[in-house]
């Protein structure tokens, strides 16, 4: 039995309107789906529209550029492009959450980790300081942060890059999102730490059934997280298929070129 996808994107076009009056047609007829507990890796060359796709699904725009999206972006059947701004805001964190390349983008540098990872919880109910620290330590422990009680009291700069990214992931998943979007989540990390973060994503999928959309320019990352890979070029998905198959026997010439350019990706 196949269940309805958590994310269902159809015929998605995104046009950016820049402050200097230019219009950029970035996404062209993008279609993809992700089921609960499944992972989709979006790969492609720089400027192919991967981050714009992630931001269109999340429903956030850069401060200066207006994005106009047409087509369908459905979260559990609900058309997000037709949703009101209030509804979209309500879905952030609880329906869809995002992890950025630089955890400092997700984390506030001047606020302790404990306050941040419990912030969206305290929006819903009041916590005492002790409850906050305990809850934060639990959330950090769930993403395998060692010595979580001490780390909960720390500021982001006191953590290593890998632990900061874990804290950002704890923050992203604390309200139980159904879809987690990660844009180049491991690009700033060394190979060992990268592997551990990718394992953490795998665990989040398996244990919580989170649907995962990972943007990466690194085919080895796409392979490691498994699932399906979408190859983007100039705003279009040119090939979509199981990671193993796509990397072993690419059908599209552009995919083949990507694979050839990154010899480590096939192993
Ligand atoms: N805020 C913006 N204002 C103007 N143009 C933008 C903006 N964001 C993206 N673009 C343009 O949209 C296109 C797609 O950009 P996008 O950031 O999605 O690429 P990408 O695939 O994520 O690349 P990278 O691998 O380098 O992160 C590019 O031509 C880019 O210049
Ligand atoms: Mg990008």
Q: What is the CATH number of the domain that holds 215?
A: 3.40.50.300
* Residue 244 within a domain: yes
Residue ending a domain, choose from 157, 175, 193: 175
Q: How far apart are CA 118 and CA 130, in angstroms?
A: 12
Q: Pairing between strand 23-34 and 179-183?
A: unpaired
Measuring from each residue's beta carbon to the nearest atom of ligand 1, which residues come in under 6 Å? Answer: 16, 18, 24, 26, 44, 46-52, 62, 65, 217
The pLDDT assigned to 118 comes to 87
User: Which domain covers residue 245, as residue numbers?
Assistant: 7-95+176-266
30 and 67 in a single domain? The answer is yes
Nearest CA to ligand 1 atom 9: 52
Nearest CA to ligand 1 atom 31: 47
Question: Model-level pTM?
Answer: 0.92
The pLDDT assigned to 81 comes to 95
* Residue 1 within a domain: no
SS3 breakdown of the chain: % helix, strand, coil, rounded to 5?
Answer: 40, 25, 35
The pLDDT assigned to 191 comes to 86
The pLDDT assigned to 218 comes to 87
Give the distance (Å) from ligand 1 centre to CA of residue 46: 8
The SS3 of residue 16 is strand
Cross-strand pairs, 7: 34, 75
* Residue 262 within a domain: yes
Smallest-distance ligand from the CA of 46: 1
Q: For the chain, 267 residues long, give each residue's pLDDT as a single digit of tens.
A: 456 899 999 999 999 999 999 999 999 999 999 999 999 999 998 999 999 999 999 998 777 889 999 999 999 999 999 999 999 999 988 899 999 888 888 889 999 999 988 887 776 678 888 998 999 999 999 888 999 999 999 999 999 999 999 999 999 988 889 999 999 999 888 888 889 899 999 999 999 999 999 999 888 898 888 899 999 999 999 999 999 999 999 999 999 999 998 866 665
Smallest-distance ligand from the CA of 19: 1
244 and 135 in a single domain? The answer is no
Asked if 43 contacts 222 with a C-beta cutoff of 8 angstroms, the reply is: yes
Residue ending a domain, choose from 122, 153, 175: 175
Q: Which of 155, 197, 158 is nearest to 180 (CA)?
A: 197
Nearest CA to ligand 1 atom 30: 47
Q: How far apart are CA 186 and CA 161, in angstroms?
A: 10
């Amino acid at each position: 039995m196949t269940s309805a996808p958590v994310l269902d994107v159809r015929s998605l076009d995104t046009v950016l309107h820049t402050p200097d009056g230019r219009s950029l047609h970035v996404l062209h007829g993008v279609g993809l789906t992700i089921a609960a507990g499944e992972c989709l890796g979006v790969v492609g060359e720089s400027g192919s529209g991967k981050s714009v796709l992630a931001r269109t699904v999340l429903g956030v725009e850069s401060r200066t550029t207006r994005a106009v999206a047409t087509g369908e972006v459905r979260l559990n059947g609900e058309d997000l492009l037709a949703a009101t701004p209030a509804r979209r805001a309500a879905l952030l964190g609880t329906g869809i959450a995002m992890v950025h390349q630089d955890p400092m983008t997700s984390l506030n540098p001047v606020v302790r980790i404990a306050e941040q990872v419990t912030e969206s919880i305290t929006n819903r109910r009041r916590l005492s300081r002790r409850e906050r620290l305990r809850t934060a330590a639990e959330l950090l422990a769930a993403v395998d942060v060692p010595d979580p009680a001490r780390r909960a009291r720390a500021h982001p700069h006191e953590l290593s890059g890998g632990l900061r990214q874990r804290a950002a992931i704890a923050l992203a998943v604390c309200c139980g999102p159904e879809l987690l979007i990660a844009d180049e989540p491991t690009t700033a990390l060394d190979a060992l730490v990268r592997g551990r973060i990718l394992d953490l994503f795998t665990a989040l999928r398996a244990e919580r059934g989170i649907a995962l959309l990972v943007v990466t320019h690194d085919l080895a990352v796409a392979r490691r997280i498994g699932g399906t890979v979408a190859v983007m070029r100039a705003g279009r998905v040119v090939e979509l298929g199981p990671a193993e198959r796509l990397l072993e026997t690419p059908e599209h010439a552009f995919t083949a070129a990507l694979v050839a350019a990154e010899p480590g990706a096939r192993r």
